[in-house]
Amino acid sequence: MDKIGDFILTLLHSITNTHILHWQAPTYSEHIALGEFYDELSDLVDTLTESMMGKYQTVPTFPVTYHGPAATGLEELVTLGIYFSEGRKDLPQDSEIQNLCDEIQALIDQTTYKLKFLK
């Protein structure tokens, strides 16, 4: 299994999942927070993926499985935060790659805050 491909695909699924949850959001604040999240995450994942492919001159192999969204936006973000924190250890440790990971982690943390406290 290609750990990088699996990691990137999980992030892409998170974009789709939070988009779905954005449409199903029970409050306006959750709707806005999830909308901002999937929009910003899309660009960050693209930059992260292309940076790794450029640096290492390889394209990851992506799995074909899809895991649907969690029951709530907060659950989706908390689960993603844990997954991301652990999974980034399997990525290249070059500073530019990890700096992009820091940006993604900050977005996850900020959105988790919004979903938990700004109702």
pLDDT in tens, 20-57: 999 999 999 999 999 999 999 999 999 999 999 999 99
pTM: 0.95
Which own/partner contact pairs does 91-100 have at CB distance under 8 Å and 24+ positions apart? 91/4, 91/7, 91/52, 92/52, 92/55, 92/56, 94/55, 96/51, 96/55, 97/48, 97/51, 97/52, 97/55, 100/44, 100/47, 100/48, 100/51
Note the pLDDT tens digit of each residue in 5-23: 999 999 999 999 999 999 9
Residue ranges of domains in the chain: 3-117
Average pLDDT value for residue range 58-74: 94
Say if domain 3-117 classifies as CATH 3.40.1000.
no
- Which pLDDT score, from 0 to 100, does residue 39 have? 98
119 pLDDT above the threshold of 90: no
Could you tell me what percent of the chain has a pLDDT over 90? 96
Average pLDDT value for residue range 67-93: 97
Could you tell me what percent of the chain has a pLDDT over 70? 99
Measuring CA to CA, how many Å separate 47 from each of 22, 25, 29, 84, 100? 23, 28, 27, 16, 8
